[in-house]
Amino acid sequence: MTPPPFLDTPEAYTTLFDSVDTFLLDCDGVIYHGPVVVPGVKRVLSLMRARGKKIIFVTNNATKSRRMYKTTFDKLGIEAHENEIFGSGYASAVYMSRILNFPADKRVYVLGEKGLEEELDSVGIKHCGGTDPEDRVFIPSMDFSYFTPDPTVGAVLCGFDSGINYKKLGKAFSYLRDDPNVHFLLTNQDKVFPTHGTFYPGSGSLSAPLVFALQGKREPTIIGKPNKPMMDAIIAEHQFDPARALMVGDNLLTDIAFGNNSGLRTLLVMGGVTQKEQIYGDKPSDILPTFVVESLGDLAVLDGQPAEKTA
């Protein structure tokens, strides 16, 4: 397998930049690392806007709504508009409303946070569970005799849920076990999420008990990267030419696979979760990007200004 070209000259940056009309950008690892903006990225984003490029921020984080994400971008001093932000929570809401045509008289049982509920509200989908205090109260026994299933529940949607407990898993399972017409969806299947320089169980780990309990009976539709429903939802919202689009990310298994699976060219940035040995080593990954660059911020040289100094 031929390794992808490593771009490291202004000429190479120009050729790539001019060939793209729509940039799909992962956030953590590409735009920022935690609370620190990647050097040069603000200038690159400004250059994209000045030259009429479309920007779509794509993230698997379903805990934040687009409104919440805009607040994060504002604090970092990054220009971003709500209609440019596409998290797996909003992608799930768009997928349900525009692709599944989820009935207006049905509700979704949610394993998730306020941000996910906010995105369901934004498209007019009713929901229960989620942050409801009643469902976040742990039951000390496995007695579900008190529980009367809600006949209006037509889907179970699982995202990251810091209030996960046996009660919520039991309710979600009962809806999926008893009615084959109830949709089973996961916002994403990330095993872990990075925070404070380390990793903790992610959304996929929290939904794993349901997936395992229903194995062989029900298979979930997984919305987020690297799966096609995420791209279907993005295209339903933003029309663009895939041949003139580029997915930029730092993770081979999510970002790069997402772009590859969707027929887009892909750009891997280093400095995130991927090591160069995975691309250029003796045993490279089966998932490879179209191009590699050290940092998205390196493209800032195209604005003709002096390079930023790193600390």
For tokens 């200038």, name the residue: 43
CATH number at residue 105: 3.40.50.1000
Claim to verify: residue 162 and residue 211 sit in the same structural domain: yes
Please state whether the peptide bond connecting residue 180 to the residue before it is cis, i.e. omega within 30 degrees of 0.
no
Q: Which of 204, 222, 240 is the last residue of a domain?
A: 222
pLDDT for 288 beyond 90? yes
Strands 183-186, 192-195: pairing kind: unpaired
Which of 19-23, 45-49, 235-239 comes out lowest in average pLDDT? 235-239
- Sign of torsion, CA 221 222 224 227? negative
Claim to verify: residue 199 and residue 155 sit in the same structural domain: yes
Quote the domain boundaries for residue 31. Answer: 6-60+226-303
Name the active-site residue from 28, 135, 161, 298: 28
| Band of residue 303 on the pLDDT scale cut at 50, 70, 90 | confident
What radius of gyration, in Å, describes the C-alpha atoms of the chain? 21
Q: Residue 311: what pLDDT?
A: 43
Q: What average pLDDT does this structure show over 260-281?
A: 94
> Looking at the domain assignment, is residue 88 inside a domain?
no
Q: Which of 187, 222, 257 is the last residue of a domain?
A: 222
> Looking at the domain assignment, is residue 79 inside a domain?
no
Q: Residue 306: what pLDDT?
A: 66
> Looking at the domain assignment, is residue 81 inside a domain?
no
Q: Which pLDDT tens digit goes with each residue over 197-220? A: 788 999 999 999 999 999 989 999
Q: Residue 137: what pLDDT?
A: 83
Is 28 marked as binding a ligand?
Answer: yes
Claim to verify: residue 177 and residue 263 sit in the same structural domain: no
Domains in the chain, number: 2
Claim to verify: residue 184 and residue 244 sit in the same structural domain: no
Please say whether the beta carbons of 110 and 130 come within 8 A.
yes
Instruction: Determine phi and psi for 170, rounding to 5 degrees.
Output: -65, -40
Claim to verify: residue 274 and residue 200 sit in the same structural domain: no
- pTM value is 0.92
Q: Which pLDDT tens digit goes with each residue over 25-46? A: 999 999 998 889 999 999 999 9
pLDDT for 310 beyond 60? no
> Looking at the domain assignment, is residue 89 inside a domain?
no
Claim to verify: residue 146 and residue 46 sit in the same structural domain: no
pLDDT for 308 beyond 50? yes
Q: Which of 202, 222, 242 is the last residue of a domain?
A: 222
Claim to verify: residue 214 and residue 252 sit in the same structural domain: no
Claim to verify: residue 172 and residue 266 sit in the same structural domain: no
8 is catalytic: no
Claim to verify: residue 194 and residue 124 sit in the same structural domain: yes
Q: Residue 85: what pLDDT?
A: 97
26 is catalytic: yes
